[in-house]
Amino acid sequence: MNTPETITVAEVGSLLEQLAARDQRTTGKADIVAWWNDLNVAGINYRDAQEAATHYYAEVWPRQKEQDRFRLTAPKVIEIVRHLHKDRLENFVYQPDPNETGAEFVANFDRQRRAVASGDVPPVPSITQALRPRPVKELLAGAFRTPELPREITEVLARRRPPGTAIACPTCHAAPNRRCHAPATRRHPAGRELAHAHPSRLETWAVAQVACPTCASPVGAVCTEYGRPYVNGAHRERIEAATN
């Protein structure tokens, strides 16, 4: 055979052993020689032949009826691998050498195509892929980083925020560390910011901060009155203890 050897006799033998383990075929020297000839003429290497076999028995066979199944053959391996090569070459972009001659261009172009088709190197994205529309969030990812403020500054800012704003507001749904806002109006479509947190937000925050000096409810437990949850949310003394 005058074509370059892309798969060795030993590799063909190993491949047929793997096929036999899957479909219980018997193989001999004649099978190895026939497969070796066919795969080398088609330019199929061992890795791609293995991938084709895995695809066939893991993907094709389970979808077929039992009476329609047949053992994998060399022509079928060649067909699957050629589809695989076609997929790999879909976005192939030649990377030229600025100093190459015409003959070198032909040789280099063929070498790069074969390397990409065989999976030895990843394909270079085409210009249309590089310029594909992408979400603004993806384009700006990492472009702007919020600097970490010194602890002294964050503590001052925290003290300036109205008490209770460390958590989300259950009334207006303001995010943590953002002021509460009034309902949206024509003049203030986003809702006017309030100087103080909504009572429900302040009460929820106080419950998470301190125990209640009035009903003795521990941190995280709601205030109670006569064994039942306090109807007004949290005792005034608890709120004062949390804010002071």
Cα 176 to Cα 162: distance, rounded to the nearest angstrom: 11
Cα 109 to Cα 103: distance, rounded to the nearest angstrom: 10
Q: Is residue 146 part of a domain?
A: no
Comparing 122 with 107, the larger pLDDT belongs to 107
pLDDT in tens, 195-226: 888 888 889 999 999 999 999 999 988 898 88
Of 62, 88, 114, which one is at a domain's C-terminal end?
A: 88
Q: What are phi and psi of 15, to 5 degrees?
A: -60, -45
Q: Is residue 82 part of a domain?
A: yes
* pLDDT given at position 149: 57
Mean pLDDT of 224-244: 86
pLDDT of residue 141 exceeding 60, the answer is no
| Closest listed residue to residue 70, CA positions, set 58, 57, 51, 79 | 57
* pLDDT given at position 75: 94
Comparing 87 with 136, the larger pLDDT belongs to 87
Tally the residues of the chain: 244
pLDDT band at 136 (very low <50, low <70, confident <90, very high): low
pLDDT in tens, 85-112: 787 777 667 777 777 777 777 777 777 7
Task: Supply the range of the domain harboring residue 35.
Answer: 9-88
Looking at the structure, tell me whether residues 232 and 157 fall in a common domain: yes
Residue 202 near residue 166 (C-beta atoms within 8 A): no
When the pLDDT of each residue in the chain is averaged and rounded to a whole number, the result is 80
Q: Is residue 109 part of a domain?
A: no
Comparing 152 with 230, the larger pLDDT belongs to 230
